[in-house]
Amino acid sequence: MSETVQFFIKETIAKQENIQHLGTLDLELMACSLLGVERSKLLTSPIALNQDSKDEFWSMIRRRMDGEPLAYILGKKGFWNLDLEVNNQVLVPRPETEILIEDILLNFNQTNLSVLDLGTGSGAIGLSLKKEKKEWDVYCSDISINALEVANKNSLKNNLEVNFICCDWLNAFKPNSFDLLISNPPYIKTNDIRLKSDGLSHEPLEALVSGTTGKEHLFVIATSSKRFLKKGGFLYLEHSPCQAKDLKLFLKKLNFKNISEIFDLNGDKRSIKAQLF
Binding mask 63-102 for ligand GLN (x = CB under 6 A): ----------------------------x--x-x------
Residues 41/26, Cβ–Cβ less than 8 Å:
no
Cβ closest to ligand GLN, residue 9 vs residue 181: 181
Cβ closest to ligand GLN, residue 26 vs residue 96: 96
Cβ closest to ligand GLN, residue 56 vs residue 103: 103
Cβ closest to ligand GLN, residue 61 vs residue 207: 207
Cβ closest to ligand GLN, residue 85 vs residue 96: 96
For 87, 91, 110, 246, 263, the CA distances from 73, given in Å and listed in that order, are 8, 13, 39, 37, 30
**CB within 8 A of 125, min separation 6: which ones?**
97, 100, 101, 117, 140, 182, 184
Contacts 24+ apart (CB under 8 A), 15-24: 19/65, 21/64, 21/65, 21/67, 21/198, 22/61, 22/64, 22/65
**Mode of pairing for the β-strands spanning 269-275 and 257-263:** antiparallel
Report the interhelical angle of 244-253 vs 216-228 (nearest 10°): 30
- Our finding on whether 208 is near ligand GLN (CB under 6 A) is yes
Cβ closest to ligand GLN, residue 137 vs residue 246: 246
Intra-chain end-to-end CA distance of the chain, in Å: 72
**211 HSE (CA, 13 A, CB side):** 9
Least Cβ distance, residue 163 to ligand GLN (angstroms): 22
Least Cβ distance, residue 267 to ligand GLN (angstroms): 16
| Spatial separation of the C-alpha atoms in residues 261 and 136, rounded to whole Å | 24
| Spatial separation of the C-alpha atoms in residues 97 and 79, rounded to whole Å | 9
Cβ closest to ligand GLN, residue 224 vs residue 241: 241
- Our finding on whether 184 is near ligand GLN (CB under 6 A) is yes
Judged by CB under 6 A, the number of residues near ligand GLN is 9
Residue nearest to ligand GLN (CB): 187
Least Cβ distance, residue 121 to ligand GLN (angstroms): 9
Least Cβ distance, residue 185 to ligand GLN (angstroms): 6
Stretch that binds ligand GLN, among 35-43, 58-66, 81-89, 184-192 (CB under 6 A): 184-192
- Our finding on whether 118 is near ligand GLN (CB under 6 A) is no
Residues 248/261, Cβ–Cβ less than 8 Å:
yes
Least Cβ distance, residue 242 to ligand GLN (angstroms): 11
Single out the residue of 105, 188, 195, 220 in contact with ligand GLN (rule: CB under 6 A).
188
Contact set with ligand GLN (CB under 6 A): 91, 94, 96, 184-188, 208
